Amino acid sequence: MKKSVKFLAVCLAAAAMLSMSACNGGGASSGAASDSSNSGVGTSTLDAIKKNGFITMSTNAEFEPFEYKDGEKIVGIDLEISQKIADKLGVELKVNDVAFDSLIPEITSGKADFVAAGMTADDERRKNVDFSDSYFDAGQAVIVKKDGDIKAPKDLNGKKVGVQTGTTGDKYCTNEEGTSEIKVGSVERYNKGMDAVSDLIAGRIDAVVIDDFPAQKFVEKNSDKIAKLNDMLTSEQYAIAVKKGNTELVDLINETLKEMKDSGDLQKIFDKYLAQES
């Protein structure tokens, strides 16, 4: 009896040592992988995100009031929503700031768990990513010179129009499928909406087509020179993008959005950032 207990104890100790070394080996290599590659990011289950202690969101911080820089810090409506998502998981929020047309690749390559970037949920993007429920109704607005001859969207026909590369405004103006009502003359692409606005003010282009609220912010800052037309070109909805098939994460994001809508928190965030609406 005594002997068999001792034997069992030896067996258990050996098993423990074996599994410890297995764990150490495995732990060390997966730890190294998660530092240097995308392991644990993008393809993570929620458990893996919790274990890592952070969730990664990618955005393009050139889109006030949704995401923009306040000094070195990236702030805005999408940042506040993203923070709530991280809080719900009890993890830190990490933010990648990349060009707008790199955002979908951030997800497909696993560099980011989700994208919150005032991104319109459209069918073309749905081929590559899944979207959450929508959280904002938007549309493409037209910014023009205050004293210019463009008074309505139809006056854009034949004109030189600036857009932000890869956005729905770019798609509308480029009009590859020929479905847009307005046929602009030529499209100038910019990485930053602000650069398009500067070229408009300098007279190098005739108009800028960009989402309504960023348009409003640009106009507020240059109200002596530029104006926004009342009519919008499109009607769109913003949603948060995740890797295709990541239902666990999209469900958690939808739950977070619903809680924020039901509590009135989401509206408070919009009111805070859009307060200066004209």
Q: Which residues bind ligand GLN (CB under 6 A)?
A: 60, 63, 100, 117-120, 164, 167-168, 211
- The closest alpha carbon to 196, from 224, 169, 232, 236, belongs to 169
What would the two tokens of residue 107 be? 């997800």
Select 121 or 229, whichever has its Cβ closest to ligand GLN: 121
Distance between CA atoms of residues 259 and 267, nearest Å: 12
Beta bridge partners of 239: 134
- Supply the minimum distance, in Å, between the C-beta of residue 131 and ligand GLN: 11
Contact 278, 217 (CB under 8 A): no
**Least distance from ligand GLN to the Cβ atom of residue 258, Å:** 22
**89 vs 131 by CB, closer to ligand GLN:** 131
Distance of closest approach, residue 111 Cβ to ligand GLN, in angstroms? 17
Q: How far is the CB of 162 from ligand GLN (least distance, A)?
A: 13
Q: Which is nearer to ligand GLN, 130 or 211 (CB)?
A: 211
Q: Which residue, 39 or 168, has its beta carbon nearer to ligand GLN? A: 168
Asked if 197 contacts 208 with a C-beta cutoff of 8 angstroms, the reply is: yes
Instruction: Tell me the closest approach of the beta carbon of residue 59 to ligand GLN, in angstroms.
Output: 8
Instruction: State which residue, 34 or 174, has the beta carbon closest to ligand GLN.
Output: 174
Q: How far is the CB of 237 from ligand GLN (least distance, A)?
A: 9
What does the chain come to in residues? 278
Residues in a beta bridge with 58: 96, 115
Which lies closer to ligand GLN via its Cβ, residue 234 or residue 256? Answer: 234
Would you say 52 or 164 has its CB closer to ligand GLN?
164
Minimum distance between the CB of residue 230 and ligand GLN, rounded to whole angstroms? 19
